[in-house]
Amino acid sequence: MEKTIITTGKTIDLAIEAALSQLGLDRDSVSVLVLQQAKSGFLGFGAQPAKVQVTYEALDPVPEKEPEKPKSALGSASRSKPKAPAAPVKKPEAPKAVQAPKAETVKPEQQDKPRQEKKADKAPKAPKQEKPKAAPVQPKEYAPAQPGSIEEKIEQFIKGLLEHMNSQAVPHCWNAEGNTYKVDLVGDDLGYLIGRRGDTLDAIQHLTNYALNRDVEGHIRVNVDAECYREKREESLRRYARKKAQQVLKARRRTTLEPMNAYERHIIHAALQDMDNITTYSTGTEPNRRVVIEYVR
């Protein structure tokens, strides 16, 4: 069952954060509709806060069982049958003497014959087949970078950058195709290198591209990843886009997503480009540029 709340704030982001903290949910679990943009007013007069309507899924309430009505004393008394008179108590009879059972005489032939147990003809049980255990995941092997190659320059730059961040992660670089190079960060506690929604990972990638393209001819593109975060994030964005598009089709009203970088906005547009009655476009300025999903006939 869908429920909505309306919250306000100085900006749209603060209004959304107020709703999320009130509901105890994350941003991917709700749908946001902007009802009113924030206005600063003139000399403090006429200022209006931003107002948003947040829609979320709530569990249907479980109907309570009605307590059973107690039966009235008069009704039960009228329906009860009169008790029969108690039977006269008989005096207990004296116990009869119990005769001891006669001892059976065992023939000597019977003593020599061993007891033979009757066994049912049962088919032998088949041994249980053990489920094959999953093979342990083998760590990915990386070829060492050749001395003086672009891969070595990329690894040296990122390694120095990580040392300034007090990180023990190790970068491994290889050429994907053409002028595109991929880098995997390997090590423990990579969460803070990824950052909130990949912000720190994007910063490392941006600095690497900027530093590398100053000293080489042409344009080289470097993609930095850790623990396959990029692939998981892309799949999560596709599911998020389809979910929001279904809500727009149901309500026939447009919705504005959270701020995203250019790469994430491209994934949203590509995921919904072939969907009927749905169009997408971007609005706002960086770094608060957002994707709008709109219903069209």
pLDDT tens track for 183-211:
999 988 788 899 888 889 999 999 999 99
Nearest-angstrom CA–CA distance, 44 and 225: 47
| Angle 83-87-89 from CA coordinates, rounded to 5° | 140
**pLDDT confidence of residue 76:** 45
End-to-end Cα distance, the chain: 27
Q: Is 121 helix (H, G, I), strand (E, B) or coil?
A: coil
Q: What count of Cα atoms within 13 Å lies in the side-chain half-sphere of residue 47?
A: 10
Sole residue written with tokens 């902007």 = 34
Residue 29 DSSP code: G
**107-111, 159-163, 193-197, 263-267: range with lowest mean pLDDT:** 107-111
What are φ and ψ of residue 24, in 5° steps? 70, 35
Residue 94 pLDDT greater than 80, yes or no: no
Structure tokens at 100: 């001891």
Q: What share of the chain is helix, strand, coil (3-state, %, to 5)?
A: 35, 20, 45
| Amino acid in position 48 | Q
**pLDDT confidence of residue 245:** 95
The answer to whether the pTM exceeds 0.95 is no
Name the burial class of residue 245, with classes exposed (0-12), middle (13-18) and buried (19+) by CB atoms within 10 angstroms of its CB: buried
Mean pLDDT, range 78-101, rounded to an integer? 50
| Amino acid in position 207 | L
Task: Identify the band that residue 117 occupies on the pLDDT scale cut at 50, 70 and 90.
Answer: very low
